[in-house]
Amino acid sequence: MIIIVDKPPAMTSHQVVAKIRHAFPRKIKIGHTGTLDPICTGVLPILTDADTTLSDLLPSDKSYRASFLLGLKTDTQDITGTVLSRQNTDIPLTSVEEALMYFRGKIMQIPPMYSAVKVNGEKLYKLAREGKTIERKPRQIEIYSAELCGYDEQKGYYIDVSCSKGTYIRTLCSDIGDYLGVGACMTSLRRTASNGFYEKDAHSLDEVISFAEKGSLSDISVDSEIPFMDLNEVFLPSDGAKYYLNGGIIGSTRVKEEMSIGAQYRVKSPDGCFLGLGVCTELGLKSIWLRYR
């Protein structure tokens, strides 16, 4: 099953998973698709049982709504950290919009010290808690869109961002402040989309726990085919489905649909049931994930 949780604030992704696991009436394999900072709320896909193996195959793009204050810098790059500097600013909205233009597209980003990124086998946040700062190599990310969408005296500027996997939004906010010459600190963050799922798919943690305790989590689950609807579908021949499900490769001439080598497909049974994901190789259609094991 895939359950989309609306992660509450002040909790880690691991704590969310632990609460759901504890509420489940039977032993269950369960995990999430990517860590969210405690300050962050919003879309957190939870995978259970056979669907846990989908984690690396799901679409990796994310979308967020964030807010940040200009003129305030902290050691964590968000409002939960220790203040490093503070200054009054008078930056016009047009300058913030111009700064956002600079950060769109493929850019290099240095991971923050307070992150789970490993350097020489050690997680950066553990070193940061020891008061250590080490050199980090910049990594390429992509900001597909970044739009200014509001302003609040307490939270500051609000932006909507769509980005690639591995993007740190608090670092983006900090970098925007540095670009404007005054520094910045992220004050709030909400993930609005992740791995092909959206806010409309999400349920509160309390609701998920309630359904888990009743053993009816499937009532609010999302079908594993949903995040892959942009892939073309391929129907197995009636005399080849069992062979395919047992690991066999189906020759390209044995399916009616045209396939391209290297492309991935939603694989369907002859009667249209979603069986999993496959990739077209030189030998034919090969399974990369089976829904039923």
| pLDDT value at residue 219 | 94
| pLDDT value at residue 222 | 92
CA 83-85-86 angle, 5° bins:
100
Mean confidence (pLDDT) of the chain: 94
Rounded-to-integer distance, Cα 225 and Cα 42, Å: 22
252-270 mean pLDDT: 94
pLDDT at 292 over 80: no
242-249 mean pLDDT: 93
| pLDDT value at residue 237 | 94
Catalytic residues: 37
pLDDT at 25 over 70: yes
Q: Are 55 and 168 in contact (CB under 8 A)?
A: no
CA nearest 144: which of 166, 164, 160?
Answer: 164
pLDDT at 28 over 70: yes
**What CATH code would you report for 2-59+196-226?**
3.30.2350.10
Instruction: Note the pLDDT tens digit of each residue in 161-205.
Output: 999 999 999 999 999 999 999 999 999 999 999 999 999 999 999
Confidence of residue 121 (pLDDT cuts 50, 70, 90): confident
- The neighbour count for residue 99, using CB atoms within 10 Å, is 21
| pLDDT value at residue 118 | 86
Into which CATH architecture does domain 62-194 fall?
2-Layer Sandwich (3.30)
277-285 mean pLDDT: 96
Considering only residues 169 and 214, tell me which one the structure prediction assigns the higher pLDDT: 169
pLDDT at 293 over 70: no
User: Where exactly does CATH 3.30.2350.10 map onto the chain?
Assistant: 2-59+196-226, 62-194
pLDDT at 274 over 90: yes
209-219 mean pLDDT: 92
User: Where exactly does CATH 2.30.130.10 map onto the chain?
Assistant: 231-290
212-236 mean pLDDT: 93
- pTM assigned to the model: 0.90
241-246 mean pLDDT: 92
Rounded-to-integer distance, Cα 5 and Cα 125, Å: 25
By mean pLDDT, which of 42-46, 55-59, 174-178 is the weakest?
A: 55-59
- The neighbour count for residue 59, using CB atoms within 10 Å, is 14
CATH class of 231-290: mainly beta
